[in-house]
Amino acid sequence: MAIIDHDAELNRAGANVSSRWGQVLFLARRYPLGGVGAILVLVFILTAVFADFIAPFDPTATNSRASLAAPGEGFWLGADFMGRDMFSRIVHGARISLAVGMGATLLGGVLGVAIGLMSGYLGGWFDLATQRLMDIMQSLPLLVMALVMAAALGPSLENTIIAIAIPLVPTVARVVRSSTLSLREQPFVEAARAVGMGEMRIAVRHVLPNTLAPLIVLGTAQLGSAILTEASLSFLGLGIPEPYPSWGRMLSESAAEYVRTAPWLVVFPGIAISLAVFGTNLLGDALRDILDPRERT
């Protein structure tokens, strides 16, 4: 019977943990802006997850006596014209932005990966027809196409996710297609065909995993774009409806009428949107440098 050295196992586990932390610290020193972006994204995610415990008030509860209360001890970031606590609404707004951003990014990514993988691997008439459709979709800017989709579907949480996800599909599809076109001619694909593996299995098991590195970078960048697009749609009244606390809707309700008398109603939601988008962009730039050797300096 083999004797297990528990001390050696613990030492190896500790060494693995130390090496991982060492790698994290090394990457943080080498890519300081990426580290800042990762911290901002982590704070954003934790705020969204634990919003119920962080927010001191119900974000939808009104209080007429606290209408337009200035930032202070009772309301840390002030109150809006209906007496709703701005800090609680911004904290819960992070949950809405994260849900819409991640939902739209994942939905657009799944559809884009499926279309791009089939287009690049199958080629022929399917590739030609698919790429012409992607050209038509990319002819409109992201916000314009999202506006058209949101206006057609109507304002709701699910419809906002769909309206933002559809314009994200062409970019993902093109990235996956370009990677697939080069990968399908590689020797490991020919070897898989030689042993009798089916074409669909080759595409999913061997080609798709090799396209993940650019997809991770693209997904991080698209998360920031989705958050900004959701804020824009909500600002225009086509995004998240009441009673959901959306950063863009907060700006829409306050920008025109209260920007002079109660500037905190505009400043704090604007800062939240800026930090969320800024953090995802910084993290995406760092991931691009880490995962793509051609971008390293």
Neighbours of 113 (CB within 10 A): 21
The residue that leads in pLDDT, 212 or 160, is 160
Percent residues over pLDDT 90 in the chain: 13
| DSSP 8-state code for residue 79 | B
| Whole-number Å distance between alpha carbons of 247 and 234 | 8
Q: Which CATH superfamily hosts domain 77-295?
A: MetI-like (1.10.3720.10)
Decide: 252 and 13 in contact? Cβ < 8 Å: no
Band (pLDDT 50/70/90 cuts) for residue 4 is very low
From residue 97, alpha-carbon distances to 8, 90, 247, 273, 286 in Å are 46, 10, 8, 9, 22
Phi, psi of 185 (to 5 degrees): -100, 5
Q: Can you give the pTM of this predicted structure?
A: 0.82
pLDDT, position 107? 93
The residue that leads in pLDDT, 137 or 18, is 137
Query: Which residue from 232, 230, 263, 269 is spatially nearest to 247, judged by alpha carbons?
Result: 269
Residue boundaries of the structural domains of the chain? 77-295
pLDDT digits (tens, 9 = 90+) for 162-179: 999 999 999 899 888 888
pLDDT, position 18? 55
pLDDT, position 25? 72
223 torsion bin: left (phi>0), alpha (psi -120 to 50), beta (else): alpha
Q: Which helix (H) or strand (E) holds 232?
A: helix 212-235
Band (pLDDT 50/70/90 cuts) for residue 259 is confident
Residue type at 290 in one-letter notation = I
Decide: 180 and 120 in contact? Cβ < 8 Å: yes
The winner for highest mean pLDDT among 32-41, 199-208, 245-254, 266-275 is 266-275
Average pLDDT rounded to a whole number, residues 271-281: 90
pLDDT, position 24? 63
pLDDT, position 45? 92
Decide: 206 and 192 in contact? Cβ < 8 Å: yes
| DSSP 8-state code for residue 239 | S
Q: Flag whether pLDDT at 296 surpasses 70.
A: no
Record the tokens describing residue 296, joined without a space. 């390293």
pLDDT, position 162? 92
The 3-state DSSP class for residue 254 equals: helix
pLDDT, position 91? 92
Record the tokens describing residue 181, joined without a space. 């076109």
Which regions of the chain does DSSP assign to beta strands (E)? none
From residue 24, alpha-carbon distances to 13, 169, 288 in Å are 17, 32, 16
Q: Flag whether pLDDT at 17 surpasses 50.
A: no
Report the residue count for the chain. 297
Q: What is the 3-state secondary structure (H, E, C) of 32-43?
A: HHHHHHHHHHHH
Side-chain-side CA neighbours of 11 within 13 Å: the count stands at 5
Band (pLDDT 50/70/90 cuts) for residue 3 is very low
For the chain, the average pLDDT equals: 81
pLDDT digits (tens, 9 = 90+) for 22-70: 666 766 677 788 888 888 999 999 999 998 899 888 888 888 887 888 8
pLDDT, position 10? 42
pLDDT, position 6? 44
| Whole-number Å distance between alpha carbons of 65 and 152 | 39
Exposed / middle / buried, residue 41 (Cβ in 10 Å: 0-12, 13-18, 19+): buried
Q: Flag whether pLDDT at 190 surpasses 80.
A: no
| Whole-number Å distance between alpha carbons of 272 and 278 | 10
